[in-house]
Amino acid sequence: MADSPATLSVPPPTVPTMSNQPNPHDAVFRRVLGEPVNAASQLRAVLPAGLSGRLDLDQLARVPGSFVDAALRWRHSDLLFTAPVKGGDVLLYVLIEHQSSTDPLMPFRMLRYVVRIWDRYLAEHPDATRLPAVIPLVVHHNRRPWSGPADIVELLDLDAEAVDAAREHLPRFRFLLDDLARLDQRALRARPLTPPARITLLLLKIAAGNARLADDLRDWTDDLRQILTGAGGIDDFLALLTYIETVGETPTDQLHQLFTQLGPEEEEAYVTTAEMLRAEGHAKALVQLLTLKFGPLTQSTLDTVHAASSAQLESWTARVLTAQTLDDVL
């Protein structure tokens, strides 16, 4: 292939119409598995050995952007990478499924996203006569195992005999599936993953609504400690802690005790993250109170509230009920 798909450029994703609030699953997925070294370890674990062995995953590079429908970005997050292979490059398209039930149309959605990748490639390489290979992977995290189809043929309204008769004229498309619900923790531990990738997959699998998360994480302390020592380790660690605090239901004192046992750096990171999230929550609550009482707030006021310390937020919140004007509060 003469043209490298690594030059593929993608416009910034459209803001989802459903909500402007970031999805916590999306945030940790993009932060950790968006790093090529972490993504490469996951791809080595799930790609067929014959394919993985042909790709130079040490040279994996991320292609920015998203191909997901704007209305579906609350439940789908995607990442696109390119990796060298003999004679050219291969694109690897990874989509994570966030919703609580299996999407029965996922093969069609994935095929649509792959076609969008090709459309973008052809727009940027108008003289191309061949397309880069795109390997599609869906990562599913939910308490319930994946129960939907992975092959486009399974969506067609034909009986089995008709499918056999028409097979050579039907579209052929099947995505790889990494179903975390079916992946037990022993198998996860055996995967050749980087510590950030391993803990991310573990948390996607067990963290949401888990009141015993601190106990469950005690068996993974080696990976947690190693995260901080790696390149970008503090950012990865903070992203994982933010996810734990956001989706878990473990009492704060239990989580604090766990990270205290890990070491002083881990405890400091946990305390910093917990305080930051409490301040963010307090700021959001104060913004709601101020808006209810005084009407829509200016951007300057919003910036002031979100930049305030916890002590300031507590003081301002106490004034809301008796204040006559916004200036009386701030």
Q: Is the pTM of this model over 0.85?
A: no
The domain boundary residue, chosen from 206, 225, 241: 206
Same domain, 34 and 125: yes
Q: Kindly give, in sequence order, each residue whose CB lies less than 8 Å from that of residue 81, ignoring residues fewer than 6 positions away.
A: 36, 39, 43, 60, 61, 62, 63, 91, 92, 93, 94
The domain boundary residue, chosen from 206, 224, 253: 206
**Whether the predicted pLDDT of 8 surpasses 80:** no
SS3 content of the chain, % helix, strand, coil (to 5): 55, 10, 35
* Residue 264: inside a domain: no
Domain extent, residue 120, equals 5-206
Same domain, 188 and 298: no
Same domain, 192 and 105: yes
The domain boundary residue, chosen from 206, 239, 260: 206
* Residue 224: inside a domain: no
* Residue 94: inside a domain: yes
**Whether the predicted pLDDT of 18 surpasses 70:** no
* Residue 30: inside a domain: yes
Provide the 8-state DSSP code for 156.
Answer: S
Structural contact between residues 181 and 143, judged by C-beta atoms closer than 8 angstroms: yes
Same domain, 43 and 176: yes
**136-184 pLDDT, tens digit each:** 999 998 888 999 999 999 999 999 999 999 999 999 999 999 999 999 9
* Residue 230: inside a domain: no
| Amino acid 272: pLDDT | 83
- Percent of the chain at pLDDT exceeding 70: 92
Provide the 8-state DSSP code for 54.
Answer: T
Total domains present in the chain: 2
* Residue 156: inside a domain: yes
Residue 14's pLDDT band (cuts 50, 70, 90): very low
Q: Is 249 exposed, middle or buried (0-12, 13-18, 19+ CB in 10 A)?
A: exposed
